[in-house]
Amino acid sequence: MKQSGKSETKIIFDALTLQKFLPHRYPFLLVDRILELKPKERVVGIKNVTINEPYFVGHFPGHPIMPGVLIVEAMAQTGGILLLDNQEKPGEKLVYFTGMDKVKFRQPVHPGDQLRFEMEMIKFRQSICKMQGKAFVEDRLVCEAELSAAVVDRE
């Protein structure tokens, strides 16, 4: 996963590769691919929002909007890749999100939109971290949050 001797690593992970690191599966795997990964600093992920998402049946009939909590969850999953990249055996670890601060929903997300998540590491000590996340549709900021997490052993 890492390339030694380089200060920046650009890697593309598809959905199948993501499943090797994240425990999430349909319908809860909310990241389709990783476009950029700069170890211990930054990750960029993509979620293609389609009308086939199960939550659109009830949120809201005739006016589908992606639930804000799922946007934040998708940001968290993207950030989880950044955290697991720091682990020697990422397949033996899980990321538990422990807090959300300064969450703001700026604009609704609709079917057909492509979300781009940009997560930046603010602090990382041992197994605890804080990240700043932003979600965009094209160049429009639709959500932002500070997320805290802990890396734990899978049981």
Residues that are catalytic: 59
Residues sharing a CB contact under 8 Å with residue 37, sequence separation 6 or more, in sequence order: 9, 10, 11, 13, 43, 44, 81, 82, 85
Q: Which two tokens stand for residue 51?
A: 């009308």
In angstroms, the CA 70 to CA 90 distance is 24
- CA 90 vs CA 23, 52, 73: distances in Å: 11, 31, 20
Place of tokens 């990240």: 131
Going by the DSSP 8-state scheme, the letter that residue 86 receives in this structure is: T
In angstroms, the CA 18 to CA 78 distance is 10
